[in-house]
Structure 1
Amino acid sequence: MNMPNLTPETMTADERREAWFQRELIGYALAANSDYTANWDYGHELLELLASRFRVIELILGADEVAPHLFALLHGPDVEGETWREAFETYDPVLTPHWTGTKLIDNAGIYGLYGVTPKEVRFDERDGWLEELARHLEQFRQFAQPEPQGVIARIINLALSRRAIDTGVGEVDLQSLALFGGVTEGRIRNILSSNDGGLEKVGSRVTATSAAAWLKGRKEFFASIWPQPDETPPEAPSPDFADDVVFVPVAADGSHFHPGLARGGKFMVGAKGEEVQYASFDEALIALHKMATPRWRRPNEAGNWGIVSGRDWKRIERRQLMSMCAGV
């Protein structure tokens, strides 16, 4: 079965829901965006969470006494074997949506990755349903304590981060932001260290409002469409810029020259030994435009200032550039 290229501006709500089950879970197709080829099969993790609790119950109450009752808890059409251990060898909760936990993680995946709610959720009940989803996910994380670097934790983080973006309240973890934007987590860290993109860091996260502003310009981001009826046709974002456009040089790591790179009130541009200081961003940018290879100083993740070389140029709205004026 072949699925069309999954692009946010062309996918309906139903297509996004289908993508979670057929593409993310079953793997019928792969996206051109490599960040979305990550493993989303959480079945073995969910089984291990349950198995670890079953083993504790057997140790406390006695395996002979409780094992039959534990096996009886595994409801569904695909339960095989005579003990819960035998059943777990073939049982896949991802493909058997009878467990409450399976439904919870699937709902988190549908919302977290694609910005939609399950089809059975009525339009006028979606906001309240999402509040409940976030509450249940927080409870699941607190009591089940899934592996922090595992698939379940990643799905939960995505859903809670999207909720923060949708409401404008709270923070977004860096891994979720990278997945939303179709980049690596290392790229996000580089952007933060160089103060590109207007991202506001809070501890090891970024504010939801700054994440939303950064994602607005990412074609890979599946913006939430749950606030509109499913019948609303997909609408591609306008390719035009709404404000004055400036061409800025881009380094090999994807960071670019911007107004937040003043050090001591001066911008340093030029090759090593030939650097020139400029008092204004516009003057420094004009100088960079005239260079065969534009070079400028900016801090790395450790806060050390070094020279980087431009490998490309990109257009960016002046208004967005001016939002990066906060000191580094």
Structure 2
Amino acid sequence: MEHQTKSQFCAADRAEIFHEQYGNEIDAGAALVDLVTAAGDYISRIVGKENADAGMARIVEGVVSSSGKVIKHPSEWRVALAASAANGYSEWPMGAQLHDLAAYAVYGIILDGSDDVAALSERIEQLIKEAEGFLAATPIDQWQIGSKRAGESDLTRLVRLASNRWALDNGRPVEPAALAEFGGVSEGRIRNMMSGPKRSFSSEEGRIPAQEALAWLDGRSEFWNSIWREQRLPRYAAKNGLPLEQAVFIPVARDGSAFHPGLRRGAGYTIGEKGSEIQIADFDEALANLQRMSTPYWRRPNTQGNWGIVGGVRWQRIDSSDLDILAADPNHKILHAAHG
């Protein structure tokens, strides 16, 4: 069987791989956990440990509870947060943005069902600008925030990859470190290719011209080329523009996960805030209860398979026939409202 290169994977396949493998390579959301922990330690030096613990326990409560854990005493917030690090990307607004940016930085797609290239371009620029600004204001070096594997923060790596992919996508030169990571080689190899009489790359103030970089990456099996301009991600309930046969409103969490029939476990669907949860056997009845809540809460498995609580941030109108599709694809995220 002929081997499929990464350039042959469509956007939908890349999105599925991204959701399945998120956190295995780059998880800037986990870096946020390190930053929040370091910030709490810093604040405790100013206001005292007891006062800082009380405030930090409240700050991290959402992430901890979403992983099914409880902070029994404010002084335990660090341990509880560390055990819930995998949920940092979905429960904090910045984590959700960095999660979406990772799909672009690594896989060359944008998690949006829009067909409007200008809108997608604007979305990428917004994500990169906010991530760059956040990184610039973050005391990563002072607080020694870094990955044990790479020796640097996943936040730093993510911003570098996203910024340099954007440079490539727009014909601008790229940093050697980013090109090395795109191509699956060491930075030292790239710099060797930039020096000597037989060098492969020229230099524009220490960066490599986009045309030369892309020509080299074209032969690298490790590189996911950018396809966001031509991508076609699934948009449930679009129905090719036809009217919905039976409209259903379902709650969607910040990370794009939705409430659907596939979330039944044990005696039924677990809904409601932490401490006030109930189980309802019938999906329609459970959905009706969620619709009556000021903020809908339900349990669903995270990327690690742990059942945690998420809160809905918006409602999505879909066709009832799409509920089975959602239930069959637990990794699907609804990140674009196909209907008003």
TM-score normalised by the chain length of structure 2: 0.56
Distance 1:108 1:195 in 2: 38
* Change over 3 Å in CA distance of 1:143–1:121 after alignment to 2: farther
Residue 85 (1) aligns with residue 83 (2): no
2:105 corresponding residue in structure 1: 112
Gaps of 5+ in 1: 27-38, 233-328
**Number of the residue aligned with 2:256:** none
For residues 80 and 196 of structure 2, the distance between their equivalents in structure 1, rounded to whole angstroms, comes to 52
Structure whose CA Rg is larger: 1
Q: 1:98 and 2:102 equivalent? A: no
Q: Distance in 2 between matches of 1:191 and 1:206?
A: 10
Aligned-partner residue type, residue 105 of structure 1? L
Question: 2:60 aligned with 1:70, yes or no?
Answer: no
What's the RMSD between the two structures over aligned residues?
A: 2.9
Aligned with residue 214 of structure 1, among 213, 216, 219: 216
For 2:225, the equivalent position in structure 1 comes to: 223
Over residues 187-221 of structure 1, what are the superposed CA-to-partner deviations in whole Å (9 max), with x where a residue is unaligned?
21221114657523244432334323432343442
* Cα pair 2:100 2:111 within 8 Å, conserved: yes
Indicate conservation of the 8 Å contact 1:199/1:214, yes or no.
no
Separation in 2, partners of 1:96, 1:80: 19
**Amino acid corresponding to residue 9 of structure 2 in structure 1:** M
Query: 1:152 is matched with which residue: 151, 155, 159?
Result: 155
Unmatched runs of 5 consecutive residues or more in structure 2: 147-151, 235-340
Cα distance per residue 1:139-158 (max 9 Å; x no partner): 12101244572322112111
**1:168 matches 2:171:** yes
- Between Structure 1 and Structure 2, how many residues are aligned? 216
Matched, 1:135 2:129: yes
Q: 1:122 to 1:45 in 2, by over 3 A?
A: same
After TM superposition, the score normalised by the length of structure 1 is: 0.58
Q: Which has the higher contact order (CA 8 A, sep 6+)?
A: 2
8 Å Cα contact 1:25/1:41 also seen in 2: yes
CA deviation digits over 1:246-303, x for unaligned, max 9?
Answer: xxxxxxxxxxxxxxxxxxxxxxxxxxxxxxxxxxxxxxxxxxxxxxxxxxxxxxxxxx
Q: Which amino acid aligns with 1:16?
A: R
Task: Determine if contact 2:183/2:220 at 8 Å carries over to the other structure.
Answer: yes
The 5 A counterparts of 1:2-17 are 7-17=5-15
Identity of aligned residues (%): 26
- Cα offsets for 1:222-253 (capped at 9, x unmatched): 21110114169xxxxxxxxxxxxxxxxxxxxx
Q: Deviations over 1:46-82 (max 9, x none)?
A: 2221111112222223332342222112224125323
44 and 226 in structure 1: CA distance in 2 versus 1, 3 angstrom threshold: closer
